[in-house]
Amino acid sequence: MKQELQLVVSPEEAANENRIKEIAAQQLHTNTTNISYIKILKRSIDARSRNIKINLKIEIFINEQPPSLPSYKINYQDVTNKVPVIVIGAGPAGLFGALQLMENGFKPIVIERGKTVKDRRRDLAAINKAQLVNPHSNYCFGEGGAGTYSDGKLYTRSTKRGDIKKILETFVAHGADENILIEAHPHIGTNKLPKIIEAMRQTIINNGGEVHFNTHVIDLILKNDAIKGVICHQLENNTTTEIIADSVLLATGHSARDIFELLHSKNILIEGKTFAMGVRVEHPQALIDSLQYHCTPNEVAHKREYLPASSYSLVHQAMGRGVYSFCMCPGGIIAPCATAPGEIVTNGWSPSKRNNPYANSGIVVTIEPEDYKKFSEHGPLAGLRYQQALEKMAWKAGGQTNEKESLGQIAPAQRLQDFVNNKLSTTLPDASYQPGIRSAPLHELLPAEIGKRLQIGFQEFGKKMSGYLSNDAVIVGVESRTSSPIRIPRDVTTLQHPKIKGLYPCGEGAGYAGGIVSAAIDGQKCANAIAGSFI
């Protein structure tokens, strides 16, 4: 007999398989010897009170052989000689789109301007240690996209967009821990995601698809307002090539500004959209643990024996706009995520164990078109230019002055309470941001539409989490790439661009996703739409 059961247990009990079996047996009025197998279906933490509980949804097999372990492998067909589809970008939208194309019997030709996930590491070391930005290989560009080296969080609220379970199972099929299938907030970790991405690439190649790195798309081949292929610049040998296909899945991510500019220069319709910008805030992880787990700092170590590094999610309406936490990274590190010299862009990531001593999160403000009116001469690129101006300001505020070389990734920073009180910080706490931080009056430097709202938001967050508004915390500027400032429109039914046949805008860069899972889902949707266009 098989039954499902909901259990509420302590963290200590949740870590003990035998104790879970005992509690289940008590609820079912049976003996533990009759329970042949227990499978955890869902797990979440309830930390609303000091008496923290773990919610478990379990499947129990009583006097019955346990089921065979499920296989998540997908048997892709050989697509070597099938109809080709160009996939621009090897982030989650591009990779999952390519895998779905193979399921549908099409040959994906994946074009990625950056390097392999392994080779990217040298360029990440260069930006962290030498403060040198490679505009084609960085935290945003390269195999796996921005999420690979900035956390690998798999939580999404986009439950109506598509099959989240299939996305997670595809990750497991390529090497991810099965725990991501049961956790309320699944997370792979920057240290583990690269090997999974490599396995996905190998799946594509082994089944007849193609993956081209260091290949920068510089133009679209159009005929009678229809896609016929792309023109690429091969970065390694400085040559130009054409790749021919009648369908292009455009999955270039939120930072591929050259693609937006290319489309605009060719009079291909793009639109400005709402996005968000702000700062990264970093606290000692022990402080956040004590606040979230309702304990004193001395009790944190005991709590953490059975509980993960704690996170938070905060939101407030300030002066008619949302101020909210974004990409919260417990036990994490603030990363330099610029994609060009002369700019500062921050993001955050966590290893799988989330065991670093700091907790960081983006705290951002919703940006509307009225905020960047002075850039209106740039038409649909106005929001992008506003974004660039803020990143340039942060670069200069970090103390960089050599605009010809545009080297340097030192970021402007301010103690949190000093920022709220309009006070320049005379000293700064230690921070995880490796290039280094420099005291700057961010309360003056940030545009009022961002800075004033952040101050209000932080004050309110301090009321919701007493102790959060602390000078032990530091804000680091700027967090500017939460989402794309551009939307590339598409038909709601065909998912094609309304003016260009065969062009399928996809994922975060096109304005239709906001994270790894939602981007992967959108990649699958566009792949299915491409298949449908051939019926």
pLDDT in tens, 48-63: 999 999 999 999 999 9
Mutual angle of helices 516-533 and 164-173, in 10-degree steps: 100
* pLDDT at position 403: 66
Please confirm whether the linkage preceding 478 is cis (ω < 30° from 0): yes
Place of tokens 């938001």: 457
CA–CA gap between residue 483 and residue 509 (Å, rounded)? 8
pLDDT in tens, 429-440: 999 999 999 999
Please report the sign of the dihedral spanned by the C-alpha atoms of residue 300, residue 303, residue 308, residue 313.
negative
CATH 3.30.70.2700 domain range(s) in the chain: 2-62
The bridge status of strand 437-439 relative to strand 411-415 is: parallel
CB contact set of 386 (below 8 Å; sequence gap of 6+): 367, 371, 372, 375, 485
How confident is residue 262, by pLDDT bands cut at 50, 70 and 90? very high
Beta bridge partners of 504: 249
Q: Helical H runs in 227-374?
A: 257-265, 285-292, 300-303
* pLDDT at position 124: 95
Count CB atoms within 10 A of the CB of residue 235.
16
The CATH topology of domain 84-269+488-533 is: FAD/NAD(P)-binding domain (3.50.50)
Place of tokens 């997670």: 168
How confident is residue 446, by pLDDT bands cut at 50, 70 and 90? very high
For the cut 60, the answer to whether the pLDDT of residue 400 exceeds it is yes
CATH 3.50.50.60 domain range(s) in the chain: 84-269+488-533
- Give how far the C-alpha of residue 481 lies from the chain's centroid of Cα atoms, to the nearest Å: 10
* pLDDT at position 161: 60
* pLDDT at position 348: 94
Extract the tokens encoding 458.
């932080």
* pLDDT at position 158: 56
Is-contact 250 506, C-beta < 8 A?
Answer: yes
* pLDDT at position 14: 96
pLDDT in tens, 19-44: 999 999 999 999 999 999 999 999 99
CATH code 3.40.50.720 for 2-62: no
For the cut 60, the answer to whether the pLDDT of residue 160 exceeds it is no
Tell me, what DSSP letter sits at residue 128?
I
* pLDDT at position 302: 87
* pLDDT at position 190: 81
Extract the tokens encoding 428.
């700064």
Inter-CA distances, 271 with 96, 266, 379, Å = 25, 14, 9
Is-contact 478 279, C-beta < 8 A?
Answer: yes
Place of tokens 């996905």: 200
Extract the tokens encoding 471.
């000078």
How confident is residue 152, by pLDDT bands cut at 50, 70 and 90? low
Please report the sign of the dihedral spanned by the C-alpha atoms of residue 244, residue 214, residue 141, residue 188.
positive
Q: What is the mean pLDDT of residues 136-153?
A: 87
* pLDDT at position 120: 96
Average pLDDT along the chain: 94
Inter-CA distances, 206 with 90, 109, 114, 142, 532, Å = 16, 13, 21, 20, 25
